[in-house]
Structure 1
Amino acid sequence: MKFFKLLSYDIVNGIIYRYKKYLIVVLVFFVFCIDLFRTISSYYAHSDAVKPAITMADYVFYIFKGMKEYIPAGNEPFKFPAIWIIVQLLPAYITLDYPYNDLESFGQHVLIRTGGRIFWWLSKCIWNMLSVIIFYFMAYATIILFCIFAKIPIKFEITSDPKFLSTIMEVEHPLIASPGEVIVALFLLPPLISLGLCLTQMTLSLFFRPLYSFGITASILLSSAYLVSPFLVGNYSMVMRNSIMMEGGVNTGGGIIAASIMVVLSIFIGSIYFNRYDILKRE
């Protein structure tokens, strides 16, 4: 019963009372949808090319595609994947400081009354995961609602038109994958990687201040943009780095395993460390 009281406390104070942060999600994804819509309309208004049947999956792909492999040679500059970075940092920002601030304020009294450090930590882990799930729910819901109002078909097939892919999506090679593989790459891997990163960030906040742990998260993502590696987990959340898009890309199964390991280790290490954590000596 104490655990469920803790969890309800975290849901109310860590999600409901912080609803304004989630409104940012709607605004950001709406802007991204508008950006693609205007780009498509402008291009085909000044081109002889026939506009293909754009689908909802194209909008999701545009936002979560990331960037192709960067090869630091020749005259091609590094193109910063701004949209992808924003999308990945937003859930990290939303889940950044609530546990830390909670311990600095009323959370200490709650922890002392309940007498269960493990319960407190597990409750924060569930709060963290719920926050990430809500983030992606609102993100995908915003895209779907935009497509409904813009009369864009709600389909999970990415447009295969080569001209559209090369000019609008900046994809050099067509995506060759089954609908199931596309759905996993677009709708499963990004949330899973965010779950792993956000829980890892929260665990690191026990050792460092939240701002430093956020910096570590940002560094992992930036490194992932520069290098294609299964050990840089940000690669798994970029569709263009997936093996269904590029030869030698990261594997979907590997992404699921990596995210699962991060989640389990974060919960386990955090529970052990927090059980010995001196909350009275916090600076």
Structure 2
Amino acid sequence: MKLGKETLSLFKRDLFLGFSSVRFRWITSMSLFVIILIVSFYQLKGLGEIEGIDSSTLTYTDLLFNVFRGKEYPTPDDLNFKFPFLWLIIQLMGPFIIGGYVRDDLFDQSSFLFVRAKQRLSIWMSKLFFAIAVVISMYLIMAIITFLFSIFFLSVSPGWSEYGMKMIKPLIATDITPFVFSIHLFLLPFFITLLIVVVQAIFTVFMRPIYAFIIMLSMLVVSVFTTSRLVPGSYSMILRHHSLDSEYGFTWTMVIIYIIAILLIVVCSGYFLFKKMDIFPKERD
């Protein structure tokens, strides 16, 4: 009970100080997402003109698919390789937003934190909860932005659009509605962003934030070029999901197991090192 109250008190503090600290990176990322939606919209319109598709029938499902689809598993005969830059930028927003807040707060406010908190576990948990809060706020606002963008610029039809029937529906191996498919499109990157932001937050406790960010970037880039399921990026690409790749695609069960396994390893080992860490004399970045 005392641990819970202490963690909650520290978490409230992190919400106030944390979002105050990352607000400019947060606003920048959300503004960039708006630009990504606009770019994606005009990409779809251009493709529609080439394919003879009425762009006025485009829906939010088409837009989300173009933004979050990622890349199929690489094959030796893939001559038309296109790097999924939009997907990569969105996946990097989370690590960019949280940046080095966890490290900076621990080292700058160590005299306050370690005097007020009776258990290091409460400090550790509050930082993890803040990382989760950053991702939830990020994707919540992205969902609202997408909803508003769809109302003003896209068709509100609940069914598959002309583009969807021609470019998306043939790829899907299961019977699924556009709304449910859109949920898959949004949740896959959400959970993987959640994973990499928590990992980023933990890594920054033990290394400079720029190094942690480079590690996250490297893992995501490697994900594009490999079929390995050990790297996280693949699990955020709908094109590699079982519904679109029935032979090699991953399932939701595999996603959940992967996330839980990585979090258990990183969070537990990170806390073990954190307990033994001498914060006070450690040199700040």
The TM-score bracket by the shorter chain reads 0.7 to 0.9
Specify the alignment match of 1:109 in structure 2. 112
Match of 2:172 among 172, 175, 196: 175
Specify the alignment match of 1:269 in structure 2. 269
- After TM superposition, give the deviation of residue 83 of structure 1 in Å: 0.5
- Using the alignment, how far apart are the partners of 1:146 and 1:216 within structure 2? 33
Specify the alignment match of 1:189 in structure 2. 188
Which letter maps to 2:134? S
Match of 2:144 among 129, 137, 141: 141
Specify the alignment match of 1:11 in structure 2. 15
- After TM superposition, give the deviation of residue 137 of structure 1 in Å: 0.8
Which letter maps to 1:282? K
Alignment partner of 1:30 is 2:34: yes
- Using the alignment, how far apart are the partners of 1:158 and 1:252 within structure 2? 23
In percent, how many aligned pairs have the same letter? 25
Q: Secondary structure at the match of 2:37?
A: helix
Which letter maps to 2:266? S
1:175–1:244 Cα contact (<8 Å) kept = yes
Which letter maps to 1:175? I
- After TM superposition, give the deviation of residue 162 of structure 1 in Å: 6.9
> Unaligned regions of 5+ residues in structure 1, if any?
166-170
- Using the alignment, how far apart are the partners of 2:261 and 2:112 within structure 1? 32
1:236–1:250 Cα contact (<8 Å) kept = yes
- After TM superposition, give the deviation of residue 141 of structure 1 in Å: 1.3
- After TM superposition, give the deviation of residue 161 of structure 1 in Å: 4.3
* Greater shift in the superposed pair: 184-193 or 234-243: 184-193
Specify the alignment match of 1:21 in structure 2. 25
Specify the alignment match of 2:281 in structure 1. 281
- Using the alignment, how far apart are the partners of 2:39 and 2:113 within structure 1? 45
Which letter maps to 2:215? I
Distance 1:161 1:147, change over 3 A: closer
Distance 1:280 1:249, change over 3 A: same
- After TM superposition, give the deviation of residue 225 of structure 1 in Å: 0.4
Matches within 5 A, 1:39-54: 39-44=43-48, 48-51=52-55, 53-54=57-58
Give deviations 1:158-204, integer Å, cap 9, x for gaps.
Answer: 54647852xxxxx6952233238624521222111111111122222
Distance 1:174 1:251, change over 3 A: same
Specify the alignment match of 1:70 in structure 2. 74
Give deviations 1:65-92, integer Å, cap 9, x for gaps.
Answer: 0112222446x25422110110101101
Length-normalised TM-score, structure 2:
0.86
Match of 1:100 among 103, 108, 116: 103
- Using the alignment, how far apart are the partners of 1:202 and 1:261 within structure 2? 17
- Using the alignment, how far apart are the partners of 2:190 and 2:216 within structure 1? 15
Give deviations 1:39-86, integer Å, cap 9, x for gaps.
Answer: 333444566444573221211111110112222446x25422110110
2:70–2:239 Cα contact (<8 Å) kept = yes
Which letter maps to 1:137? L
- Using the alignment, how far apart are the partners of 2:268 and 2:105 within structure 1? 21
Alignment partner of 1:259 is 2:259: yes
Match of 1:58 among 50, 59, 62: 62
2:242–2:250 Cα contact (<8 Å) kept = yes
Distance 1:67 1:111, change over 3 A: same
Count the aligned residue pairs: 276
Specify the alignment match of 1:168 in structure 2. none
- Using the alignment, how far apart are the partners of 2:200 and 2:29 within structure 1? 20
